[in-house]
Amino acid sequence: MSDKVRVRFAPSPTGGLHLGGVRTVLFNYLFARQHQGTFILRIEDTDQSRFVSGAEEYISECLKWCGLHPDESPEKGGPYGPYRQSERKAIYRQYAEQLVQEGHAYYAFDTPEELEQKRRQIPNFQYGHMFRSEMRNSTSLPKEEVKQLLDSGAPYVVRIKMPVGETISFTDMIRGEVSFETGLSDDKVLLKADGMPTYHLAVVVDDHLMKITHAFRGEEWLPSAPVHLLLWKYLGWEDDMPQWAHLPLILKPDGNGKLSKRDGARLGFPVYAMSWTDPASGEVIPGFRERGFLPEAFINMLAMLGWNDGTEHELFSLDELVEKFSLGRVSKAGAKFDFEKAKWFNTEWIKKLEENKLRTYVEEVFAQNNISVPDRDKLGVVIGMVKDRCHLLTDFVLQGGYFFKSPESFDLDAVKPKWTEQKEEFFRSFAQILLEHRSLSSHELEEKFKELATEKGFKIGEVMLPYRIMLVGGKFGPAVFDITKLIGEEEAVRRIDTGLGAIGA
RNA sequence: GGUCCAUUCGUCUAGGGGUGAGGACGCAAGAUUUUCAUUCUUGAAACAGGGGUUCGAUUCCCCUAUGGACUACCA
């Protein structure tokens, strides 16, 4: 085995990219970068019946958004390609045959119908040493019959022959020593009737051929680990086997079980990294990106779901994570996903992110909401003024949009009942002041406003709130006179006019 | 059912034979802010249960309970 660390993320392109998947990518990435290793994206598309068009491109796009760029991938190529298992189809059969020749695997001719029937007949049916001899395969059938079946082109699969009574154990980088009794697992299919390998064969062969040194995957794979271990051994590659790390699962916030996209829909939060449109149904499943998350925050949040650096720090950039990450500090138990905490990470990152980057993100969101920004500098000022009240990028539309676009509606509930002719007069006078004193600072303007209010016999609050609502549309936002200066006196007067109209109506 | 894995505040977690069991999110109260947020202060809130080992266990061991994953010609 070469010393150089090589890791891979190996998703199946069947739909949206789940949060847990992104975390697996992240841990792969962190580990690779930390060891100056190579991070590979390999597409596991061996199930042709589950092929979904666009899913692979979508996955690449997600990785790009997260800033987790692979060194080798279908898109980018590399010395160990192809990186799409469907394009490697021809490679797998020889290994399956080798296994059969050496007695570690066998041909099985049972049809799906026969298997289904067997499962109905026998409650806990497993295609393994218990029932192997009752089935139609090359261990139970006479040699001639097997030959004849093979020659006649009868469909068959290759199954691994799981031994009985062997204890197989390995050291998982996260959970330590794990052991299994081999006879308990069934004889997994290695090569399907269509000639494609199953996951079990494909991971082992490809991990070997691609010289993978460390294999990260979800905990759901733990039960099939003995099959993979055996395959490494039978294929004669035991010495090159990667070190395994089975990551804890991300669980539903309520109840129990793995987090699924259905939970997101039910509880009102995204589960996928980016929104995914099902090409068949047209259904759109929302993503963190579209919900207004910064990739920096998304990544940070994911890293902290099951890992910590042992201090009380929670905010880490990707570079800091690369530096601090260690598998030994990954927890063993699954973690329930908490959307409130996820939002908190985003809030913190909005405050923390470098001004220019944040501005670029906000510009995108504005563009999507038809808010045009002629002046980038002004946007910078606006962001500085409002970012403390934004938790998601999309909040900037409401919190900052009115600097570039007059409010479309007014929240008048608190104003209308107490409205008087005198107040209208007050605002007419104030509008005059605005037009006549354009050089006043925000502070001086405030003084003028207060003077006028006192003169007309109002308490400041009585006219301040209506003014705010005329400017921004609602009861929110930074200091009103700062807003006035930024949008300009003329625009402020226009808003007073329309505001007065709306109140009078 | 079987196998494997796990178990500290509601949630994410730190800790580790003697601690006031720490932090964060969320929640509650208060202060600041003539709006809304931000910020600050304070508070409530946890070692699943039972046996050992030990002078002493939340910590080490065993059992139980609970939860989860897996049990496809899907990954």
DSSP for A98-164, written as a single string: HHHHTTSEEEE---HHHHHHHHHHSTT--SSTTTGGGSSBTTTS-HHHHHHHHHTT---EEEE---S
Contacts of residues A165-173 at CB distance under 8 Å and 24 or more positions apart, as own/partner, are: A168/A226, A168/A229, A168/A230, A170/A225, A170/A229, A170/A244, A171/A243, A172/A222, A172/A244, A172/A245, A172/A246, A173/A214, A173/A243, A173/A244, A173/A245, A173/A327
Whether residue A236 sits in one domain with residue A109 = yes
> Confidence class of residue A118 from pLDDT cuts 50, 70 and 90?
very high
- Whether any strand B atom is under 7 angstroms from the Cβ of A340: the reply reads yes
Inside any domain, residue A348: yes
Nearest nucleic acid nucleotide to A202, CA to C1' distance: B75
Inside any domain, residue A424: yes
Q: Which of residues 206-225 of A touch strand B (CB under 7 A)?
A: 219-224
- Whether any strand B atom is under 7 angstroms from the Cβ of A417: the reply reads no
Count of residues for chain A?
A: 505
Q: What is the pLDDT of residue A2?
A: 52
Instruction: Confirm whether A261 is a catalytic residue.
Output: yes
CATH number, domain containing residue A294: 1.10.1160.10
Q: pTM, whole model, 2 decimals?
A: 0.95
Inside any domain, residue A479: yes
User: For A412, which DSSP code?
Assistant: -
Of A355, A378, A397, which closes a domain?
Answer: A355
Of A220, A164, A46, A186, the C-alpha closest to A115 is A186
**Gap between the Cα atoms of A459 and A44, Å rounded:** 69
Nearest nucleic acid nucleotide to A176, CA to C1' distance: B5
Whether residue A97 sits in one domain with residue A242 = yes
Q: What is the pLDDT of residue A211?
A: 97
Whether residue A239 sits in one domain with residue A142 = yes
Q: Taking 50 as the threshold, does the pLDDT of residue A1 lie above it?
A: no
Q: Which of residues 293-312 of A touch strand B (CB under 7 A)?
A: 304-306, 308, 310, 312
**Gap between the Cα atoms of A345 and A339, Å rounded:** 10
**Gap between the Cα atoms of A27 and A7, Å rounded:** 10
From A63-67, A254-258, A370-374, the region with the lowest mean pLDDT: A254-258
- Whether any strand B atom is under 7 angstroms from the Cβ of A184: the reply reads yes
Q: What is the pLDDT of residue A123?
A: 84
Mention every residue, 6+ apart, whose C-beta is less than 8 A from residue A277. Answer: A283, A284, A285
> Confidence class of residue A449 from pLDDT cuts 50, 70 and 90?
very high
Inside any domain, residue A382: no
CATH number, domain containing residue A232: 3.90.800.10
DSSP letters of A179-227?
A: EEEGGGS---EEE-TTS-B-HHHHHHHHHHHTT--EEEEEGGGGGGHHH
Whether residue A236 sits in one domain with residue A124 = yes
Of A355, A384, A417, which closes a domain?
Answer: A355
pLDDT per position as a tens digit, A16-47? 999 999 999 999 999 999 999 999 999 999 99
Nearest nucleic acid nucleotide to A126, CA to C1' distance: B71
Inside any domain, residue A400: no
Inside any domain, residue A16: no
Whether residue A202 sits in one domain with residue A311 = no
Can you read off the two tokens belonging to residue A203? 């991971």
Residue A178, helix vs strand vs coil? strand
Question: Crossing angle, helix A460-472 and helix A442-455, to 10 degrees?
Answer: 130
Q: What is the mean pLDDT of residues A446-457?
A: 93
Nearest nucleic acid nucleotide to A50, CA to C1' distance: B74
Whether residue A242 sits in one domain with residue A110 = yes
From A79-83, A106-110, A119-123, A360-364, the region with the lowest mean pLDDT: A119-123
Q: Residue A325 belongs to what H/E stretch?
A: none
Whether residue A311 sits in one domain with residue A269 = yes
Inside any domain, residue A393: no
Residue A272, helix vs strand vs coil? strand
Residue A247, helix vs strand vs coil? strand
Q: What is the pLDDT of residue A451?
A: 93
CATH number, domain containing residue A494: 1.10.10.350
Q: What range defines the domain where residue A348 resides?
A: 261-355
Q: What is the pLDDT of residue A81?
A: 84
Mean pLDDT of chain A: 95
Q: What is the pLDDT of residue A194?
A: 94
- Whether any strand B atom is under 7 angstroms from the Cβ of A118: the reply reads no
How many domains does the structure of chain A reveal?
3
Which entry of A261, A378, A405, A485 is annotated as an active-site residue? A261
Can you read off the two tokens belonging to residue A212? 């993978």
In strand B, the nucleotides that come within 7 Å of a protein beta carbon are 1-8, 10-15, 22-26, 34-38, 67-75
pLDDT per position as a tens digit, A261-306? 999 999 999 999 999 999 999 999 999 999 999 999 999 999 999 9
Q: Which residues pair with A179 in a beta bridge?
A: A169
Whether residue A266 sits in one domain with residue A194 = no
CB atoms near residue A2 (< 10 Å): 8
Higher pLDDT, A414 or A488: A488
Residue A301, helix vs strand vs coil? helix
- Whether any strand B atom is under 7 angstroms from the Cβ of A286: the reply reads no
**Gap between the Cα atoms of A317 and A323, Å rounded:** 10
Separation in Å: B68 C1' and A256 CA: 8
Separation in Å: B62 C1' and A176 CA: 20
Of A314, A337, A355, which closes a domain?
Answer: A355
Name the residue closest to B25, CA to C1'. A341
pLDDT per position as a tens digit, A204-260? 999 999 999 999 999 999 999 999 999 999 999 999 999 999 999 999 998 779 999
**In chain A, pLDDT over 70 holds for what percent of residues?**
100
Q: Taking 90 as the threshold, does the pLDDT of residue A106 lie above it?
A: yes
Whether residue A345 sits in one domain with residue A443 = no
- Whether any strand B atom is under 7 angstroms from the Cβ of A123: the reply reads no
Whether residue A243 sits in one domain with residue A153 = yes
- Whether any strand B atom is under 7 angstroms from the Cβ of A460: the reply reads yes
Backbone angles phi and psi of A503, in degrees to 5: -70, -40
Burial class from Cβ neighbours inside 10 Å (0-12, 13-18, 19+) for residue A410 reads buried
Separation in Å: B59 C1' and A261 CA: 38
Of A416, A414, A403, A409, the C-alpha closest to A477 is A403
Whether residue A319 sits in one domain with residue A214 = no
Q: Which of residues 68-107 of A touch strand B (CB under 7 A)?
A: none
Inside any domain, residue A310: yes
Whether residue A232 sits in one domain with residue A267 = no
Q: What is the pLDDT of residue A254?
A: 87
**Gap between the Cα atoms of A213 and A505, Å rounded:** 72
